Chains A and B, each alone.
Chain A
């Protein structure tokens, strides 16, 4: 075994790196730490008997854990959400993006709106069996009402029990549509943003 494996300098460096990468999937994070450890050992192997000072020099040449983690975040995060169709991961990425400027913020607000609309359809679908007279599609004088409490809304309900599957379907369309739209925007403009951020970090 390499005598440097349990050096506190090294351990604290990689602990800091792992902590900085906490938002990466566990498997990916382990992989990153493993690879950078291999790099460190390769560097130290070139020295006959590495001292703490050598260790410090090698770690310094690698860059700080913050710097490396920032690079990983920029290179991988936007990319990741471009591949996954999960509202949660898409929103997380978007939230990070939001923090970097007005453009991301606007997309984030629109995304929240889309998901909220989707969620409200799910909620009405859940409520329909319990409040059949309050929830549904009520049409009166060109107006459309979905739900009203405590009195039923004006007009006649046109869907009846079919409201539940229809609302679930519409809710699903909103959720899926929003996710796909964000994915598209992140893919299209995220790449650009990523480049700009990368340049800023390099500078």
Chain B
């Protein structure tokens, strides 16, 4: 099916940014849930405040569904006093372990990359 559909090719840099965003989104979602139970829109708000990770809001929910299927999250519908019920998510014990190891990996990964990028950003060393 993917072979048949012809979509306009995005610019290489945009594509790279989209991939990067997508890769980080999972970590960001897990991090949002570190110390509280949240429902979808609250998670989105957390992501909006701290990053520009989300392109289409609806696409956060499939990721939440998969994280739950992987056993990293648990969820429950909660009736609100006013308004409609909402589906709250929280980290399971394996989810907690996972986000810690992801955060550690992220830290060492970005530290290494940053030291590589230093000369690039400083614009030194080449004429």
Q: In the bound complex, do residue A203 and residue B14 qualify as a contact, i.e. CB atoms below 8 Å apart?
A: yes
- B residues near A71, Cβ cutoff 8 Å: 58-59, 62-63
**Set B23, B41, B62, B83: member contacting A72, Cβ < 8 A:** B62
Given A36-B58, A99-B1, A76 and B85 contact (CB-CB distance below 8 Å) = no
B residues less than 8 Å from A35 (CB atoms): 40, 61, 87
Q: How many angstroms between the C-alpha atoms of A32 and B41 in the bound complex?
A: 14
Q: How many residues of A contact B (CB 8 A)?
A: 33
Contact among B14, B61, B85 for A32, CB-based, below 8 A: B61
For residues 1 through 31 of chain B, which have their beta carbon under 8 Å from a beta carbon of chain A?
1-3, 10, 14-15, 18-19, 21-23
Q: Do A199 and B22 form a contact, CB below 8 Å, given A38-B84, A42-B86?
A: yes
Assembled-state Cα–Cα distance A67/B61 (Å): 12
Q: Judge whether A62 and B58 touch: CB under 8 Å.
A: yes
Interface majority SS (helix, strand, loop, mixed), chain A: helix
Measured in the bound complex, the distance between the Cα atoms of B87 and A106 in whole Å is: 41
User: Which listed residue (A63, A74, A75) contacts B57, Cβ 8 A?
Assistant: A63
* Residue A84, interface by CB 8 Å: no
Q: Please determine whether A79 and B62 come into contact, CB atoms closer than 8 angstroms.
A: no
Known: A2-B84, A62-B58, A63-B56. A39 touches B40 (CB 8 A): yes
How does the 8 Å CB contact mask read for A161-203 relative to B, with 1 for contact and 0 for none? 0000000000000000000000000000000000001111011
Q: Are A68 and B56 in contact, CB atoms less than 8 angstroms apart?
A: yes
* Distance, CA A75 to CA B1, complexed state (A): 17
The chain B residue sitting closest to A39, CB to CB, is: B40
Q: Cβ of A202 and Cβ of B21 under 8 Å apart? A: yes
At the interface, is chain B mostly helix, strand, loop or mixed? helix
Which residue of the partner chain B has the closest CB to A1? B84
Contact assessment for B56 and A39 in the assembled complex, using a CB-CB cutoff below 8 Å: no
Distance, CA A74 to CA B63, complexed state (A): 10
Nearest Cβ in chain A — how far from B43, in angstroms?
10
Q: Is A61 an interface residue (CB 8 A)?
A: yes
Which residue of chain B lies nearest to A62 when distances are taken between CB atoms in the complex?
A: B58
B41, A42: Cβ atoms closer than 8 Å = yes
Residue A22 lies at the interface, judged by CB distance under 8 Å to chain B: no
B35 within 8 A of A: no
Q: Mark A46-88, 1 if CB is under 8 A from B, else 0.
A: 0000000000000001111001100110111001100000000
Enumerate chain B interface residues (CB-CB to A < 8 A).
1-3, 10, 14-15, 18-19, 21-23, 39-41, 55-59, 61-63, 65-66, 69-70, 83-87
Beyond A79-B70, A99-B3, 9 additional pairs, beta carbon < 8 A: A38-B85, A43-B41, A64-B56, A68-B58, A71-B62, A76-B69, A100-B2, A100-B3, A199-B18
